[in-house]
Copies of this chain bind each other. A is one copy, B any other.
Amino acid sequence: MISRPPRPRERGIPEATVARLPVYLRALQTLQDRGTATVSSEALARAAGVNSAKLRKDLSHLGSYGTRGVGYEVEYLVYQISRELGLTQDWSVAIVGIGNLGRALANYGGFGTRGFRIAALLDADPGVVGQRVASLDVGHIDKLEEVVRERGVSIGVIATPAASAQGVAGRFVEAGVTSILNFAPVVLNVPDGVDVRKVDLSIELQILAFHAQRRADGDGREAERAGLEMT
């Protein structure tokens, strides 16, 4: 019996694909909950809101995990995607800035479901430090380095006002955290090797407004603006 180990996955998964894998994963888990054993690229693509060819190409980057004529085994695919995304290990998350948003994040249950564990909540306000939020005591920001070290924090979440965000990011980097999720509306400056992603409500709204305005413009007449005389 010729035993071939699973195809060695290529180390170059396109960024666009990486961004969609979590979506596929969620769709697959929904199917799993529903007791579905196998799924075709067509069906899964519909559930994920993408083109089926795109889905197949995305999955092909992980390996050949489908069966022609049948489809993909749901459970196996869940495992493969989870593994590729690094969800088979645990990630400790620290949230800094326990205000409106930080509290919502801390209280959000959907975190722990997938390998992410909130390990610490930190704030600078003496009135907030010591409070108990989501079964955790809010610590003082001064303890950031200590907390990161002792609790093995590898992902930092910034939910402070914009003015403090860069400072907090620097502290995280200094402490060895190389993955940062930033909710503050500011561009963070970090050294190479540190991965920053941002979630920006205001930007999303502005993009929606842009499209809404365009739809409204085109509705009545073609407002062809080329030159404006405003000085």
Query: What residues make up the interface of A, taking CB atoms closer than 8 Å to B?
Result: 11-12, 18-19, 21-23, 25-27, 47-49, 63, 79, 84-87, 89, 91, 93, 100-101, 103-105, 107-108, 110-111, 114-116, 154-155, 178-181, 185-187, 189, 191-193, 195, 197, 199-215, 218, 222, 224-225, 227-231
Contacts and interface: CB of A to CB of B under 8 A. Distances in A.
A26 to B, nearest CB: 6
B204 A197 contact: yes
A178 B116 contact: no
Nearest to A13: B210
Contacts of A204: 181, 197, 199
A190 to B, nearest CB: 10
Contacts of A180: 208
A100 B104 contact: yes
Contacts of A47: 187
Contact of A85 (B111, B199, B200, B206): B206
A63 B227 CA distance: 8
A207 B100 contact: no
